[in-house]
Structure 1
Amino acid sequence: MGANKSERVLVEEWRDILDVHARTMCELDRELHPHGLGASDFEVLDVLAEGVAQDGGCSYRVQELAARVHLSQSALSRLIARLEKDGLVTRGMCTEDRRGVRVALTDEGRARHAEVQPLQRAVLGRMLER
């Protein structure tokens, strides 16, 4: 019986985490939408703005980004294509591996990130307060 209660508590805690995540993502999407971004769009811009890729440069391989933003490579590729179309990022071939693709912020992407970062941080502060 104790294991069942322990399992129930574990499942309830997991569902609480999922609930906070879902509500936070919805709130981020709502706040960022007027700026032409969604939560995942901003997350990619935020990682790129940090500028600390594994090689120390300011561009990231798509695989690096996928690991940091927790999106599949196909979903991330579509998101990057949209950000590139909007002029927020550029894509280029990796010099060290011609099969790879690197992504970097444009000046417009850096400006949009700086504009919406305070909104995103405020939402995180509100939603993650306990």
Structure 2
Amino acid sequence: MSDMSDSDPSDTTRRRLPTILLTLGHLHGELRALHGLSLPGYLVLGAVAEAGGGPVPVARLTAFLRESGTRMTSLLKGLQAAGLIERDRRAADRRTVEVTLTDAGRARFADAERTARALLRGSLGPGPS
């Protein structure tokens, strides 16, 4: 991995960061600045949106992001506090917590998705539309 510390700009032996790393860093920054979302927050909203906006079990989101339960809970609390998701216990099995998008969450994801697509298209070239 490349050293991200400051170094002498005249040092020609310094390796450049890979394009994908720079692109992901830029995407994370743009999502934060323009939409108030972290990259994991954007991915959670996207996963729920891709599921048709209906309830998605927290366990499925945790597996998708390969996050710890503690980290996922923290992430979901933040999204819920921002009014982007709702978390509810499944009526048939109270042990299962499910996530749904709010109208604000759908709108925020749609805006963030446009930003992500434009940035990725510009950085990595055209991909699937």
TM-score greater than 0.5 by the shorter chain: yes
2:95 corresponds to: 99
TM-score, reference length from structure 2? 0.73
Residue identity (%):
36
**Shift of residue 21, structure 1, vs aligned partner:** 5.4
2:81 corresponds to: 85
2:50 corresponds to: 50
Secondary structure in 1 matching 2:42: helix
Secondary structure in 2 matching 1:48: helix
**Shift of residue 127, structure 1, vs aligned partner:** 4.1
Code of the aligned partner of 1:27:
H
For residues 59 and 19 of structure 2, the distance between their equivalents in structure 1, rounded to whole angstroms, comes to: 27
For residues 88 and 104 of structure 1, the distance between their equivalents in structure 2, rounded to whole angstroms, comes to: 9
Asked if 2 retains the 8 angstrom alpha-carbon contact of 1:87 and 1:106, the reply is yes
CA RMSD of aligned residues (A): 2.2
For residues 96 and 27 of structure 1, the distance between their equivalents in structure 2, rounded to whole angstroms, comes to: 42
2:37 corresponds to: 37
Secondary structure in 2 matching 1:99: coil
Q: Which has the higher helix share?
A: 1
Q: Deviations over 1:61-100 (max 9, x none)?
A: 1110112223222211100000000000000002232112
In the TM superposition, 1:1-130 aligns within 5 A as 19=18, 22-34=21-33, 35-52=35-52, 58-129=54-125
Q: Deviations over 1:91-110 (max 9, x none)?
A: 00022321121011000000
Q: Any stretches of 5+ residues in structure 2 without a counterpart?
A: 1-17
Secondary structure in 2 matching 1:120: helix
Further displaced range: 65-74 or 96-105:
65-74
**Shift of residue 60, structure 1, vs aligned partner:** 0.7
